[in-house]
Amino acid sequence: MLLALAVVLVWGINFVVIEVGLEEFPPLLFSALRFLLAAVPAIFVLGRPRVAWRYVIAVGLALGVAKFGLLFVAMDHGVPAGLASLVLQSQVIFTVLFAVLVLRERPRRAQLFGIGVACLGLLLIVLDRGLASPLGALLLVIAAGACWGVSNTVTRHAKPQDMLRFMVWVSAVAVLPLTVLSLLVEGPRADLDALRSIDLGGAAALLYLAGAATLFGFGAWGFLLGRYDASTVAPFSLLVPVVGMGAAWLLHGEAVGLQQAVAAVLIMGGMACTVIRPRERVTAPVG
């Protein structure tokens, strides 16, 4: 639980950091540079991944290219940090759904109830804030959540023993496709201009995303998915929007009203339902 909460804190702050980076870089280039910094220095130290390459490539494309490419483009087109951190947690629904269909996992009734309560909180915030954001950009964030659900399911199935090494190679897989997409969509001139004008804020954002959010965050997240059911691990991410909205309020002045506060309580209450297990009854021996 402590490890999951540490990941939640890092990922919640991450959305404000992404906004800082998007002021300096085009979104697809920013994502490519993030994975370049996370992967290239480490692959020469850690060596090859100890898992089948098909899993590395699948997670690299689903998580690195699709999820983060869609998320960064959506935020660049007007979805604010707090709202992005919220809508992205639709991945919980996709993760549990894919785990049931593909891995044949059976979530407990309390987990399903908790996810339902938390999703009600998500709906309240979307109704309060989402209507002011571009609909197309919001749909991109939901699509990013679906891609994250695919990634969670593949990671759960692969069960890599060394999650740090696995995430380093996943990051390496994402670099080339994101770079090519950036050149095709954003253009070589925009990419070169961004690289020439990089400043301290842009460099710090890249380092945070590469080290804290990527290597630590997804390494620890994948480790948890390898040890516990996806329906147990995934709901922890429902706390990310609470941290994300708090960080956006403190650092960027994004308003948090009464409806958002009520929704945050629902999210945290739903989380409690998903992680608290009933204590087993112990029968005293006879005789």
Residues 113-126 have pLDDT tens digits of 888 887 888 788 77
Total of domains in the chain: 1
| Spatial CA neighbour of 201 closest among 4, 2, 22, 15 | 22
Q: Which residue has the higher pLDDT, 123 or 57?
A: 57
44 contacts: CB under 8 Å, gap ≥ 6: none
Phi, psi of 105, rounded to the nearest 5 degrees: -75, 150
Per-residue pLDDT tens digits for 231-248: 677 778 778 888 888 888
* Residue with token string 């999703």: 119
Residue 161 lies in a domain: yes
Domain that holds residue 20: 2-110+134-253
Least confident of 44-53, 63-72, 124-133, 212-221: 124-133
Task: Give the N- to C-terminal CA distance of the chain in Å, as an integer.
Answer: 39
Q: Give the other-Cβ count within 10 Å of 47's Cβ.
A: 12
Tell me the CB-side half-sphere exposure of residue 141, using CA atoms within 13 A: 26
Residue 154 lies in a domain: yes
Q: Evaluate whether 219 touches 163 at the Cβ level (below 8 Å).
A: yes
Per-residue pLDDT tens digits for 152-193: 889 888 888 887 788 889 999 999 999 999 999 999 999 999
Residue 282 lies in a domain: no
Residue 22 lies in a domain: yes
Please, which pLDDT band fits residue 27 given cuts at 50, 70 and 90?
very high
Say what the pTM is: 0.82
Residue 262 lies in a domain: no
Q: Name the token pair of 137.
A: 């950009």
Q: Name the token pair of 275.
A: 């992680």
Residue 271 lies in a domain: no
Which of helix, strand or coil describes residue 197? coil
Q: Which residue has the higher pLDDT, 82 or 5?
A: 5
Give the separation between CA 169 and CA 286, rounded to whole angstroms: 56
Cα angle 151-174-241, degrees, rounded to a multiple of 5: 50
Residue 234 lies in a domain: yes
Provide the pLDDT for residue 188: 95
Does residue 25 register a pLDDT over 50? yes
Does residue 287 register a pLDDT over 50? no
The most confident of the ranges 77-91, 184-198, 215-229 is 184-198
Q: Name the token pair of 159.
A: 């069960």
Average pLDDT taken over every residue of the chain: 83
Q: Any idea what DSSP says for residue 50?
A: S
Please, which pLDDT band fits residue 278 given cuts at 50, 70 and 90?
low
Q: 187 — alpha (psi -120 to 50), left (phi > 0) or beta?
A: left
Does residue 62 register a pLDDT over 80? yes
Residue 258 lies in a domain: no
Q: Which residue has the higher pLDDT, 124 or 7?
A: 7
